[in-house]
Amino acid sequence: TPVDDYVRLLDRARGGGLDVVMDARVAIHGADISRRPERHYLGRVFATFASMILGMAIYDTQCGAKVFRRTAALVEALEEPFRSRWAFDVEILGRLLTGPEGRPGIDPRLVREIPLESWHDRPGSKVRAIDMVRVAGELVLIARDVRKRRASR
């Protein structure tokens, strides 16, 4: 992710009083987004499941550019180790949105995605079939955790 996009994320977080701001690789007019079709469609399937787990529309949880406001909710969300290796983005969003046991999570309106202005897949980046199986297993674990946290509120 270009450094300029991180500056945009920080500006958006500060100016909007947001808790989480994430870039999204959205191929819209005026953006220079280049992704291999198979990566794009695998990402769409993943994002659909992530959205269902989180209970909110998320376009691109796996884009690496994210800014988190340092809040008590963030500190608490980071206290326990992550269960997931590939889907930790979804895991931390689930923890933030549901909150710790007995306390509410952050307001989903304080989470925003903004389209990247430029993104190009790098050659050599591979997602193997076994990785997709692992990610599916991680999403199941995250879904259980989110459901349990919601039940405890």
pLDDT digits 0-9 by tens, 49-74: 999 999 999 999 988 889 999 999 99
- 112 forms beta bridges with 21
Q: Say which DSSP state 109 is in.
A: G
Q: Where are the beta strands (DSSP E) in the chain?
A: 20-24, 32-34, 66-68, 111-115, 118-120
What gap in Å lies between CA 105 and CA 69, rounded to an integer? 14
Q: With H, G, I as helix, E, B as strand and everything else as coil, classify residue 34.
A: strand
In contact, 67 and 9? CB cutoff 8 Å: yes
What gap in Å lies between CA 106 and CA 84, rounded to an integer? 21
> According to the model, what pLDDT value does residue 4 have?
84
Q: What is the mean pLDDT of residues 110-131?
A: 83
Amino acid at 59: Y
Q: Is the pLDDT of residue 17 over 80?
A: yes
Give per-residue pLDDT as tens, 90-99: 999 999 999 9
Among 51, 101, 62, CA closest to 84: 62
What gap in Å lies between CA 139 and CA 141, rounded to an integer? 5
| Average pLDDT of every residue of the chain | 90
Q: What is the mean pLDDT of residues 5-14?
A: 90
Q: What is the pTM of this model?
A: 0.89
Which of the four pLDDT bands, split at 50, 70 and 90, describes residue 79? very high
Q: Please state at what angle helix 88-98 crosses helix 129-151, rounded to 10 degrees.
A: 10
> According to the model, what pLDDT value does residue 63 have?
86
